[in-house]
Amino acid sequence: MIQCIDPNSDEFKKAKKLTTGYSCIVCEKPLKETGVYFSLLDLNKEGNEVILYRIGCKHCRTLYTMDFKIMAVDFDKFLDFNIAEVISA
């Protein structure tokens, strides 16, 4: 299921800034060309649903947190994520 991300949300603006300003640490391709956005429904400490955002590189399939830290090298293992290639920047 593809989940649309609001382009006016703070999370999307932060993701866009990361993809336009960084290259993938693993393959060194610019994320403005290879960036893919992910969203995941999760529960916070109070039990309320929250949406977590991640950025991936579709060239080498590395998954990053919104702090630009590597979370995984093969995002195919995260089947719970809804992939949304919002833009190719």
Residue 88 lies in a domain: yes
Residue 83 lies in a domain: yes
Residue 19 lies in a domain: no
pLDDT digits (tens, 9 = 90+) for 17-40: 888 889 999 899 999 999 888 777
Residue 4 lies in a domain: no
Q: What are the φ and ψ backbone dihedral angles of 82, each rounded to 5 degrees?
A: -95, 115
Residue 11 lies in a domain: no
Residue predicted with more confidence, 77 or 29: 29
Residue 31 lies in a domain: no
Structural domain span for residue 67: 48-89
Phi-psi sector, 17: left (phi>0), alpha (psi -120 to 50), beta: alpha
Span 59-72, average pLDDT:
87
Cα-Cα-Cα-Cα dihedral sign, residues 76, 78, 82, 83: negative
Residue 36 lies in a domain: no
Report whether pLDDT(1) > 50.
no
Residue 61 lies in a domain: yes
**Mean confidence (pLDDT) of the chain:** 76
62: three-class secondary structure by DSSP: coil
Range from 30-39, 62-71, 74-83 carrying the lowest mean pLDDT: 74-83
Report whether pLDDT(82) > 80.
no
Supply the pLDDT for residue 78: 54
- The tally of domains found in the chain comes to 1
